[in-house]
Structure 1
Amino acid sequence: MSAGITMSSMSSYAILGCGSVGHAVADDLTDAGEDVVILDRDDNRVEALRDQDLNARQQDITEADVAEVVADREVVLILSGNVDANKAAVEAIRAAGGEQYIVVRANDPVSKDQLVELGADVVINPSEVIADSALRSLEAGELAYKTQQMVEIFRETDGRLAILSHDNPDPDSIAAAVALQAIAADHDLEADILYDGEMGHQENSAFVNTLGIDLSTRESVGGLSEYGAVALVNHADAGAEGDVEDDVDVYVDHDEPAEPVGAEFVDVRLNVSATSTILTKYLQELDLSPTETVATALLYGIRAETVDFKRETTPADLTAAAYLHPFANHDTLEEVESPSMSPETLDVLAEAIQNREVQGSHLLSNAGFITDREALSQAAQQLLNLEGISTTAVFGIADDHILLAARSNDIRLNIGSALDDAFGDVGEAAGHAKQGSAEIPLGLFTGIEISDDNRDTLLQLSEQAVRRKLFDAMGVEEGSNGS
């Protein structure tokens, strides 16, 4: 069937006004075996349509009796180039009590609104349709060009490819790296996935372990100097400005980097919500069917970045997810999304809930003395689900250090940068826009050595210092508690 018209069941149609648009629609519907009648006031045009074996009748669509002529039709397409005639036809059909599904042509935004008010179900503005088609064609052409440009770099690379995610990699960053590794392998280029910082959230560790994804720290491989090319994926959230590497060959992201990237290949797409979506488009463009592991990783990356399509989801994210769905292992996805919670994590979460302090939409909590720093990450993520909370920070004391984990879904805040501003001068901080961590030597805050006699004092002093420095870095004024 031409022109992409697909009907799920047989319907009866009336086409009112048969210029070039109406004629094209009539041909498609008739070729599909649909029951179509064409109404047009021009006798010569009607005769010509009949000569083409089309069911055409002479009828002025501006007259009230047009409603009676189309009364037995389920769908009415009013496609005349005269918008006043189209308005009259819609008005006549609705005034007669007609409940047909009406699709009508407009010629500008004003007439579009007027036709909706008159009772049209769908209003089409040809100029908008042409513009949308042109943009889709442009996007498709750009994707083809970009994909081949990237592949050419892979073909010319002598040595291995280093794929670097951002610090403390999240699912979208890991999934994009896994997909890029698969594309490189398809072009006979071996690649290693590297990261800085820590794996962080238990769900991320479950994701990597369950899918058998091989990641290495950049430190463990001795840096990037031995690689033939370097690719950065989902790296714009890497933290403070200037974090982007100097010597980069490929850069792919769905966010704008803090500073210009001097890579040979740069593909930043702000019209999608996940870098995994961009990599899915590459796979489709290359006609490279994803393996179960790659598809599961990418689908999880999109779902995690859009919070299961509830946050900032674009049509491109949805179509990418739909494409990946049949390739993915959904039992594995369920396993990754519901990792088991250790007894200590449960204890830390309970303590964090009990000790939470809320300033506006920001939550800070003291989890006390801990032995598992991963429990802090779990608690920070769980507390982010509280109503009205956009940023969480949970800290605890382990040995002679204050450990802190933070999460944020506030687009105005880069929590990684905030932690660096707050604690970078007294300890170590790492992260990106949505998550981060910090480790601060306890003595720098309190000047007190840990003993059984001063545990409560240490916690109190630590909480005061962490609260003051973190809230100052985030620009939060203390005093107006939430709950």
Structure 2
Amino acid sequence: MSYFRKLTQETTRLTQMLGREDKWLIVINADPDAMASALALKRIMVHRVAEVGIAHVNEVKRPDNLAMMRFLRIPTQMLTAQVRTQYDHFAMVDSQPHHHPDFKSCSFSIVIDHHPITAASPVTARFVDIRPDYGSVSTILTEYLYNLRIRPGKLLATALVYGIKADTQSFERHFLEADVKAFSYLTKSADMTLVRKIIHSEYHRRWLKFFSKAFRKMRFVGQKGLFVYMDTLESADILVMLADFFTRVHGLSWNMLCGIVKKQVVVIFRGDGIGRNMGQMAAKLFGDVGSAGGHRGAARAEIELAKFGDKSVEEVLYRRLTGSKLPGKEKCPLTA
């Protein structure tokens, strides 16, 4: 019996798409799972095509992502028009073409993902493998490597281990037996010391001030929800950091962290995976005005700031969430 499920048809179709003269660019919205998956797909392609590169559409500022890139030598670069013209084929991992405006500049032939599929935005690439039940795309790419008899080296195995760990929140968020099997298989080749170094690089010192601001601005929604509007921020990663932090607060089952980042209103959702489905919640609240969706325990929405006109962004977001007017300022529960 095979350790992983057989992907004979998938690997045959995938490898048949890779020509010796082809130049492939793997495009990602860089986070641990996306970077690890891109590195794995590059390993599959590298001896089958003329050239393969990795490019990201987002600014990489989170310390753990920067540490991952540095320690594991992930050769990703910012996607620009100049970079794009150097390649004639495009692949995507851990995203779908409608997830980010900058993806529209590429015509994708390969899409491998684990985010839910929406009827409003079907994926029409030549090769599509989307498995919403999987905890990480790193697991999917590990299965491809195994089926192609490619044993990942130390750095690739370490990247995939961290990708699985990050997207399943160390198996506290949704995962399958396949994710556990992949993690176990990869740890035999991975450098767990490097994994710990990446984990311990989670916060910028200058970000600590945002915890204080979040505590002052947080508003409870019912008995188990939390809403926090953080005004203008340098990076959406700050919202992700805070949203992940609030998931550890006893008695809260979900939170919604919001802010303005470069003329985009970004909303980050986190849940315990038991109650509300965050992906459905994001799509219901903001799918009509921007890109919105995600998993049961984690989701994201992005709306152009211009769509709010002269209205208060905080007021509009709160009203969409609760159906009621934003209440007056409350005392911080930590000091009341």
Answer whether TM exceeds 0.5 for this pair: yes
Q: In the alignment, what sits opposite 2:82?
A: 221
SS in 2 for 1:386: coil
Amino acid at match of 2:99: G
Structure 1 residues 346 and 293: alpha-carbon distance in aligned structure 2, compared to 1, 3 A threshold: same
Residue 147 (structure 1) shift: 1.2
Residue 177 (structure 1) shift: 0.8
Q: In the alignment, what sits opposite 2:318?
A: 467
**Greater relative contact order (CA < 8 Å, ≥ 6 in sequence):** 2
**Contact 1:406–1:415 (CA<8 Å) still a contact in 2?**
no
Structure 1 residues 137 and 349: alpha-carbon distance in aligned structure 2, compared to 1, 3 A threshold: closer
Structure 1 residues 220 and 173: alpha-carbon distance in aligned structure 2, compared to 1, 3 A threshold: same
CA distance in 1, matches of 2:255, 2:92: 27
**Percentage identity across aligned positions?**
22
Amino acid at match of 1:440: L
Amino acid at match of 2:108: V
Residue 342 (structure 1) shift: 3.4
Show the 5 A alignment for 1:20-169: 139-140=5-6, 143-154=7-18, 156=19, 158-165=21-28, 168-169=29-30
TM-superposition CA deviations, 1:257-292 (whole Å, max 9, x none): 334433332223355322111111111122211122
Q: In the alignment, what sits opposite 2:41?
A: 180
Residue 164 (structure 1) shift: 1.8
Counting matched residue pairs gives 316
Query: Bigger radius of gyration, 1 or 2?
Result: 1
**Contact 2:292–2:301 (CA<8 Å) still a contact in 1?**
yes
Q: In the alignment, what sits opposite 1:232?
A: 92
Residue 384 (structure 1) shift: 3.3
CA distance in 2, matches of 1:336, 1:237: 29
**Contact 2:63–2:201 (CA<8 Å) still a contact in 1?**
yes
Residue 321 (structure 1) shift: 0.8
TM-superposition CA deviations, 1:357-415 (whole Å, max 9, x none): 122454222446766765444223322333423232143799xx786552334545267
The reply to whether residue 365 of structure 1 matches residue 221 of structure 2 is no
**Contact 2:318–2:325 (CA<8 Å) still a contact in 1?**
no
**Contact 1:240–1:417 (CA<8 Å) still a contact in 2?**
no
CA distance in 1, matches of 2:326, 2:308: 30
Aligned-pair Cα RMSD in Å: 3.9
Show the 5 A alignment for 1:255-270: 255-258=115-118, 259-270=121-132
The reply to whether residue 327 of structure 1 matches residue 178 of structure 2 is no
Give the structure-2-normalised TM-score. Answer: 0.76
Structure 1 residues 268 and 368: alpha-carbon distance in aligned structure 2, compared to 1, 3 A threshold: closer
**Contact 2:64–2:198 (CA<8 Å) still a contact in 1?**
yes
Q: In the alignment, what sits opposite 1:276?
A: 138
SS in 2 for 1:445: coil
**Contact 1:239–1:432 (CA<8 Å) still a contact in 2?**
no
The reply to whether residue 289 of structure 1 matches residue 128 of structure 2 is no
CA distance in 2, matches of 1:402, 1:265: 31
**Contact 1:235–1:257 (CA<8 Å) still a contact in 2?**
no
TM-superposition CA deviations, 1:183-237 (whole Å, max 9, x none): 11132442111232333644333322332212223225354x6523221212249
SS in 2 for 1:413: helix
**Contact 1:345–1:379 (CA<8 Å) still a contact in 2?**
no
Structure 1 residues 385 and 441: alpha-carbon distance in aligned structure 2, compared to 1, 3 A threshold: farther
Q: Unpaired runs of 5+ in structure 1? A: 1-132, 447-460
Residue 330 (structure 1) shift: 1.0
Give the structure-1-normalised TM-score. Answer: 0.55
CA distance in 1, matches of 2:230, 2:115: 33
Structure 1 residues 201 and 418: alpha-carbon distance in aligned structure 2, compared to 1, 3 A threshold: farther
Structure 1 residues 405 and 368: alpha-carbon distance in aligned structure 2, compared to 1, 3 A threshold: same
**Contact 2:142–2:160 (CA<8 Å) still a contact in 1?**
yes
Structure 1 residues 365 and 423: alpha-carbon distance in aligned structure 2, compared to 1, 3 A threshold: farther
Residue 416 (structure 1) shift: 6.7
Show the 5 A alignment for 1:277-356: 277-339=139-201, 341-356=203-218
TM-superposition CA deviations, 1:158-200 (whole Å, max 9, x none): 33101122xx433212211110011111324421112323336
CA distance in 1, matches of 2:234, 2:114: 36
TM-superposition CA deviations, 1:8-30 (whole Å, max 9, x none): xxxxxxxxxxxxxxxxxxxxxxx
**Contact 1:403–1:438 (CA<8 Å) still a contact in 2?**
yes
**Contact 1:345–1:376 (CA<8 Å) still a contact in 2?**
no
SS in 1 for 2:135: coil
SS in 1 for 2:203: coil
CA distance in 2, matches of 1:430, 1:395: 15
